[in-house]
Amino acid sequence: MVQKIICIGGATIDRKLKTRDALELATSNPASSVTTFGGVAHNVAKNLIQLTQPIYLQCVVGNDSEGRDLLSHLKNAGINTDMSLVRENKTTAHYYAILDHQGELHLAIADMEIYDDVPFDSFTQSWCEWHPDDIIFLDTNLPAPLIEHAITLSKQKQLTLCIDTVSMAKAKKLPAQLEGVFLIKPDRFEAEVLANRSIHSIKDCMEAGKVLLQKGVKNVVITLGQSGYVITNEFGQKHVAAIETKSVVDVSGAGDAFIAGILYELKKGSSIHSACELGARAAFLTLQSERSVSTLKTLTMKKEDLDHATIF
């Protein structure tokens, strides 16, 4: 049986505006804009299809021109979307981002209403076909009952389930017990929500990682922006420092590239530490691009040929 990576969650229409100069509030700011397809699960799948096959994406779109265009774009890229839902009288999700002149995110607004009431039975019908060799990636754009069901199935079938917590608000959808989750990737603020404790230092981050292990997660990777990331599992904890990149064009999608690199290496049988190293390089490439999904063809280069990444 061919091992699959199945990505489940958000697919959106992204509209990004980047100011030409330092952002000033309460006045008009000259800016450039771009419209792309996005969403966490979408971006992860688009990164992965450059590296391996087969890749599946299960998302929800409206029966509108944007939703149909999104699915057509994915199919043309070689991604299987057969498990996705097209919903009548619903609008495809939209994500709006305002970036400053240095490419840093200033404000983001997400219209994800279509994901508030995803039909449970029709959306999960194919999940009974998940095979223990498959890697399941889940983002928290899905309703809480679907997330909990995926975790339960993962525990029963002993699957490799990896979760990206997406945002502080959406991290709250996760159940109290996380046994069945192979890997979870929150940033510092999402980790604060999950562990119910403040994080102001690397030590705090490690303590939060221990809390998530107690909840049942096997591997915790907490990203800390320019401070790198912390890996926590039963074998110990490690802080991996990040060397600041020379220039950041756009931070959008860097975290998605990071998790995509991890998933790719896990499929190859690599360790969590090696997987995160490749994820860091994928994030680096994305930081240098105006696109939320960058070209990852150089990921096959040797580590010493690329700078380390700053992870967002």
pLDDT digits (tens, 9 = 90+) for 165-204: 999 999 999 999 999 999 999 999 999 999 999 999 999 9
Q: In what order do the strands lie in the sheet with 5-8?
A: 55-58, 5-8, 135-139, 160-164, 183-185, 219-223, 229-233, 236-240
β-strands 60-62, 85-87: how paired? Answer: parallel
Q: Give residue 105's pLDDT.
A: 84
Using CA atoms, how far apart are residues 1 and 156, in angstroms rounded to an integer?
Answer: 20
Q: Give residue 309's pLDDT.
A: 41
Q: Give residue 245's pLDDT.
A: 62
pLDDT at 53 exceeding the cut of 60: yes
Q: Give residue 296's pLDDT.
A: 62
pLDDT at 312 exceeding the cut of 90: no
Q: Give residue 311's pLDDT.
A: 40
Estimate to the nearest angstrom the gap between the alpha carbon of 245 and the chain centroid.
Answer: 21
Contact 58, 35 (CB under 8 A): no
Instruction: Return the closest-CA partner of residue 14 out of 296, 247, 290, 309.
Output: 290
Model confidence, pTM = 0.89
Q: Where are the domains of the chain?
A: 5-23+30-305
Q: Which two tokens stand for residue 89?
A: 């009288």
246-274 average pLDDT score: 84
pLDDT at 261 exceeding the cut of 90: yes
Contact 222, 205 (CB under 8 A): yes
E strands along the chain, which residues? 5-8, 12-19, 31-38, 55-58, 60-62, 85-87, 94-99, 105-111, 135-139, 160-164, 183-185, 219-223, 229-233, 236-240
59-79 average pLDDT score: 97
pLDDT tens digit sequence for 7-23: 999 999 999 899 999 99
Number of neighbouring beta carbons within 10 Å of residue 201: 11
Q: Give residue 102's pLDDT.
A: 80
Q: Give residue 306's pLDDT.
A: 45
Q: Give residue 310's pLDDT.
A: 43
Length of the chain: 312
The distance between the two most distant Cα atoms of the chain, rounded to a whole number of Å, is 58
Q: Give residue 143's pLDDT.
A: 97
Q: Give residue 305's pLDDT.
A: 46
**CATH architecture of the domain formed by 5-23+30-305:** 3-Layer(aba) Sandwich (3.40)
300 — pLDDT class (breaks 50, 70, 90): low
Residue 227 neighbours by CB under 8 Å, 6+ apart: 202, 241, 242
